[in-house]
Amino acid sequence: MICEKNDAFARRKARAKRLISNGRSTVSGLGAGGFPRHNFAHRAKKESLPLEVVSAGWGQWRAGCCRFREFSDTFSLEFVTDGEFVFEEENVRYAGVPGTLFFVRRGVASGMLCASENARKRTVILEGTMLDAFLENLHLAGVSFLRPAEPEKIGQLFAEIENSLRTGRSAAETASVAFRLLLEAAREIPAPASPQPPRVLREIFTAFERDPAASVPPEKWAEVLHVSVSTLHRLFLRYCGRSFGREMLRRRMEVARNYLLTTEMPIKEIAFRLGFRDRFYFSAVFKKYFGASPGIFRKSGVPVRKKL
């Protein structure tokens, strides 16, 4: 479920130390008493397969352990088995209780904090020449987290993938299990009953159109509209194909695009009107979304790449 602002999360993020830097992608974090501890199995060698498992295993975390990624160069699935985590993606936070499945996506800023005394999760890291196409076709490209109806089945697939690596099965055999995992996750996203979104979503979108700078957290919308936060999240996945945070970001970027193409409004003012804290952060988000900085985009009028 979508969780409220976590002050401990913000404090740990501010204190996090850089652990890994690979050009643009960085990983920072903090440990606690020798934790987190990881036990991973890795592929024998890299192969150019449509889908490939890089590594799989589990991590044992303690309260206060955290990891943050900027412009992640890794795609992974994270399955909570014990305890509780807080997961953040693009400034939206989710509570991860046992049975929760998180998606750490490439090119996106994300973070994770252990929110209980002890917690444990399984991880599968994927790559492949067709990975992006698989995620797009399975409608998983815009998903941040899921609460599967049958978490036991998801957990069994994670264990099977890890065992496949440890016992030396072929990369193709291991990849076939990983694809079954993706299929199982995709089954958790129901097809929309009709193209018309329900009243709950229409009210949120209407409010956004009136004031795109307003940053109303999902739990507040759930309270105002008399629905649970989990129901609200499922409605976004069902009718938009994206999580709450991803859909609201998409709408802000579309407004920014229109401002740049139809007005001479300064970039700093556009950022302010859309609720960004400064023009530099806005420019970084816009470039990640469209593939070009706001200034270059305004001059060319054509996006280099558009991430929906």
Residues 217 and 272 in one domain: yes
Amino acid at 250: R
pLDDT of 306: 43
Residues 158 and 239 in one domain: no
Residues 157 and 132 in one domain: yes
Amino acid at 236: F
Could you tell me the residue range of the domain that residue 155 belongs to? Answer: 7-186
Residues 147 and 204 in one domain: no
For 107-171, what is the HEC assignment? CCCEEEEECCCEEEEEEEEEECCCHHHHHHHCCCCCCCEECCCCHHHHHHHHHHHHHHHHCCCCH
Helices (H) and strands (E) in the chain, counts: 11, 12
Residues 91 and 174 in one domain: yes
What is the Cα–Cα distance from 14 to 280, expressed in whole angstroms? 19
Token couple for 252: 């802000």
pLDDT for 64-94, tens place per residue?
899 998 888 889 999 999 999 999 887 778 8
Residue 25 has pLDDT above 90, yes or no: no
pTM of the complete model: 0.69
Residues 150 and 203 in one domain: no
pLDDT of 121: 98
| Residue 115 maps to a domain | yes
The total domain count for the chain is 2
| Residue 194 maps to a domain | no
pLDDT for 220-252, tens place per residue?
998 999 988 888 888 888 888 788 888 899 899
Give the CA distances from residue 236 to residues 70, 144, 275, in Å, rounded to whole numbers and listed in that order. Answer: 25, 11, 21
Amino acid at 225: L
Rounded average pLDDT over 136-152: 86
How buried is 14 (Cβ within 10 angstroms: 0-12 exposed, 13-18 middle, 19+ buried)?
A: exposed
| Residue 54 maps to a domain | yes
Q: Which of 156, 186, 216 is the last residue of a domain?
A: 186
The residue among 11 and 79 whose pLDDT is bigger is 79
| Residue 193 maps to a domain | no
Residues 178 and 271 in one domain: no
What is the rounded average pLDDT for all residues in the chain? Answer: 87
Residue 138 has pLDDT above 70, yes or no: yes
Cis omega before residue 151 (within 30°)?
no
| Residue 192 maps to a domain | no
pLDDT of 3: 53
Residues 92 and 224 in one domain: no
What is the Cα–Cα distance from 146 to 151, expressed in whole angstroms? 10
pLDDT of 6: 54
Q: Which of 162, 186, 210 is the last residue of a domain?
A: 186
Instruction: pLDDT band for 2, please (50, 70, 90 cuts).
Output: very low
Maximum distance among all alpha carbons in the chain? 61
Residue 194 has pLDDT above 60, yes or no: no
pLDDT of 89: 83
What is the Cα–Cα distance from 260 to 267, expressed in whole angstroms? 8
| Residue 191 maps to a domain | no
Rounded average pLDDT over 97-126: 93
Rounded average pLDDT over 270-288: 89
| Pick from 14-18, 23-27, 271-275: least confident | 23-27
pLDDT of 202: 92
| Residue 124 maps to a domain | yes
Q: Residue 226, Cα to own-chain centre: how many angstroms?
A: 26
Amino acid at 45: K
End-to-end alpha carbon distance in the chain = 23
Indicate which CATH number applies to the domain containing 278. Answer: 1.10.10.60
Enter the DSSP assignment of 291: S
Residues 13 and 154 in one domain: yes
Residue 4 has pLDDT above 70, yes or no: no
